[in-house]
Amino acid sequence: MSSLTTATLAALEEMLQNATCNLPHGGIPVHLDSQGVGYLVAEFVPFVLESIREKPIAHIHGSASGLTLERVAPALLSNSLRELAQRMRSAGLIPAWRNEEFAYYGNDGHEYFRVERAAFRSFGFQSQAAHINGFTSAGTLWLGRRSESKQIDPGKLDNLSAGGISADETVVHCAVRELWEEAGVPEAIAQKITPAGKLILLRPHPPHGVHHESLFIFDLELPTNLVPVNHDGEVSSFIELDLAEAAARILADEFTGDAALVTADFILRRNRFR
């Protein structure tokens, strides 16, 4: 097993420190009343403002200084955002439409609205995802390789399993579901996941907009006789790597952006325990 160098560990630390970055110039903020909740990149601004001007949408107001959402009942605001998202989709501004909704939660834990999953990046809303580090007693990690048919990051390395948390779904339910669908981990084993923290990712993601996400991290020790197998077609294969090789592949940009952060966090935590 190869060893992790000080330089490699420092590079992983720097990656985590840079998980959030400055938003691109030329866009406008999205506010829920006076609270910032999102960001429209410059490429989307003209269409959105013109669309609202020509055909107003209840509870959504736009100007050159920003897009403002009224603080109304979540069902009402959700309907308004769905209408705007559909207009943007028709204009080709929301690729990778999923027919699945995410919910937006404020700092107080309340849900304020929900809208199409792909639209979260278009509006720069913060979504939520569950990521599971699958490790073995030998100190290796199981990683999945995303299917080439995936609309986002095809062929990139990913965690053992990971997925966005749909509206009406809890974090743990999502983690257990994804473990079975993506890696074939039985529920009796999946229920042994251990919470390992949360990371915030914020970065431009052209042409989709802004990727702003809370990454809920879990660790799961896999039995030595368990070999992951995909059930939903979203993973093409699995590989088992030691931590040094996993780190090298992170730094070679072989991972998805969020899986790179989650795996780097795991490697650094394991190194601190030694």
Please classify residue 46 by burial: count the beta carbons closer than 10 Å to its beta carbon, then call 0-12 exposed, 13-18 middle and 19+ buried. exposed
Main-chain phi, psi angles of 272, to 5 degrees: -70, -25
pLDDT tens digit sequence for 207-264: 889 999 999 999 999 999 999 999 999 999 999 999 999 999 999 999 999 999 999 9
The predicted structure's pLDDT at residue 2:
63
Name the residue range of residue 104's domain: 28-124
* 53 lies in the same domain as 91: yes
| Predicted model pTM | 0.93
The predicted structure's pLDDT at residue 152:
85
Q: In the listed set 78, 105, 124, which residue is the last one of a domain according to the structure?
A: 124
C-alpha 101/C-alpha 127 separation (Å) is 10
Position 1 in a domain: no
| Domain total in the chain | 2
Q: Token digits for 26?
A: 């030329």
pLDDT classification of 273: cutoffs 50, 70, 90: low
* 193 lies in the same domain as 245: yes
| Helices 6-17/257-272 angle, 10° precision | 130
Residue type, 139: G
C-alpha 208/C-alpha 131 separation (Å) is 21
Position 165 in a domain: yes
Token pair 């990139």: residue: 156
Tell me the CATH number at 201: 3.90.79.10
- Find the helix or strand (DSSP H, E) in which 161 lies: strand 161-164
pLDDT classification of 95: cutoffs 50, 70, 90: confident
CA atoms within 13 A on the CB side of 220: 32
pLDDT classification of 136: cutoffs 50, 70, 90: very high
pLDDT at residue 274 above 80? no
Q: Residue range 139-147: average pLDDT?
A: 96
* 77 lies in the same domain as 40: yes
DSSP, residue by residue, 8-75: HHHHHHHHHHTSB-PPPTT-EEEEETTEEEEEE-TTTHHHHHHHHHHS-BTTEEEETTEEEE----HH
pLDDT classification of 120: cutoffs 50, 70, 90: very high
Q: In the listed set 124, 157, 187, which residue is the last one of a domain according to the structure?
A: 124
Q: In the listed set 67, 92, 124, which residue is the last one of a domain according to the structure?
A: 124
Q: Residue range 102-121: average pLDDT?
A: 96
* 192 lies in the same domain as 218: yes
* 62 lies in the same domain as 134: no
C-alpha 56/C-alpha 80 separation (Å) is 10
* 101 lies in the same domain as 82: yes
Main-chain phi, psi angles of 121, to 5 degrees: -75, -35
On whether the CB atoms of residues 251 and 10 are closer than 8 A, the answer is no
* 84 lies in the same domain as 149: no
pLDDT tens digit sequence for 45-64: 999 999 999 999 999 999 99
